[in-house]
Structures are given as structure tokens and as C-alpha cells.
């Protein structure tokens, strides 16, 4: 990773692979330890296009309603709270987990899709502010 004189960094993990968040955390630690002390770091969970309900669903695709969140929170490890075949069943990194980590570490947080472009402009707009 090259970050000499960087003013900002976007650390990306895959929401469908829990190990990618752990790797992202190690990159964040390295940036916080070695990079410019004033660097702005954004954590971006990518591939949300694979885990969102279809566009025909009502409501915001990136914000599950509280009832669904409660169901997800009570699921036992290894148990899939979504019905088989639903896109959410591919998600291995809960949004709440990554967002809590980002808040604790002082990072900006986004969920994105490189495929659809969702959230990409927002990352760079927020970093620029």
C-alpha cells in the first residue's frame, strides 16, 4: 500500500466476505500508525448490489427496517435469517458491525457498489469536505 503524503484514503472491504473486513482493519491500523496524522480515512463496504433487495421492494435498500434488524440480531451464528435465494443471504458483514467499527476508529463509513456506482460519489464528496 502506498500512502506517502496522502491526505485521504479509502479502505474497501467486501460485504460478502467477513475476512475482508478483518484485512481492512489491519490496513486502517497501518494508515493510522504510519500515514499523515491528519489523513481522512473512509471505510467502504463494497458489493452492496449483491445483498440488496430488488428495486421493486419498497423502502430504502441500504436501510433495513427495525423489525428485520431485530431478526438479524437474534439469529444464531451460522443461521441465515433471510430466506434461501434472497440477496441479503450473501451478506457476511452486517452494516451495523462495520459502522460501529468505523465510528470507534474515527473513520467515515459508506456502503457502495462499484458495479452500479451507488455510494461512490458520496465517498469523495464527504472526503472533500
**Model confidence pLDDT, tens digit, residues 59-107:** 333 444 434 444 444 343 444 444 445 566 799 999 999 999 999 999 9
Residues 98, 73: Cα–Cα separation, whole Å: 14
What's the total number of domains in the chain? Answer: 1
In a domain, 58, yes or no: no
**Is the pLDDT score of 127 beyond 90?**
yes
Residues 74, 58: Cα–Cα separation, whole Å: 24
Q: Rounded to two decimals, what is the model's pTM?
A: 0.73
Is residue 34 helix, strand or coil? helix
CATH at residue 94: 3.40.50.300
Arithmetic mean of pLDDT over the chain? 81
Q: How confident is the model at residue 2 (pLDDT cuts 50, 70, 90)?
A: confident
**Is the pLDDT score of 55 beyond 90?**
no
Q: What is the pLDDT of residue 1?
A: 78
Q: What is the pLDDT of residue 87?
A: 60
Beta strands in the chain (DSSP E): 8-14, 40-46, 108-111
Please, are residues 42 and 10 in contact by the beta-carbon 8 Å criterion? yes
Residue for grid cell 458495479: 115
* Cα 12-16-20 angle, rounded to 5 deg: 45
Q: What is the pLDDT of residue 110?
A: 98
H-type helices in 2-117, by residue range? 18-34, 66-74, 95-105
In a domain, 92, yes or no: yes
In a domain, 60, yes or no: no
Amino acid at each position: 500500500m502506498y500512502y506517502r503524503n496522502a491526505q485521504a484514503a479509502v479502505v474497501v472491504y467486501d460485504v460478502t466476505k467477513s475476512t475482508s473486513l478483518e484485512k481492512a482493519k489491519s490496513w486502517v491500523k497501518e494508515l493510522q500508525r504510519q500515514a499523515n496524522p491528519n489523513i481522512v480515512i473512509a471505510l467502504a463496504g463494497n458489493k452492496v448490489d449483491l445483498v440488496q433487495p430488488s428495486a421493486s421492494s419498497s423502502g430504502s435498500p441500504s436501510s433495513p427496517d427495525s423489525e428485520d434488524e431485530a431478526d438479524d440480531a437474534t439469529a444464531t451464528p451460522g443461521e441465515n435469517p433471510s430466506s434461501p435465494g434472497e440477496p441479503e443471504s450473501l451478506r457476511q458483514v452486517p452494516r451495523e458491525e462495520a459502522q460501529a467499527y468505523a465510528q470507534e476508529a474515527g473513520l467515515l463509513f459508506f456502503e457502495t457498489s462499484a458495479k452500479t456506482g451507488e455510494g461512490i460519489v458520496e465517498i469523495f464528496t464527504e472526503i472533500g469536505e
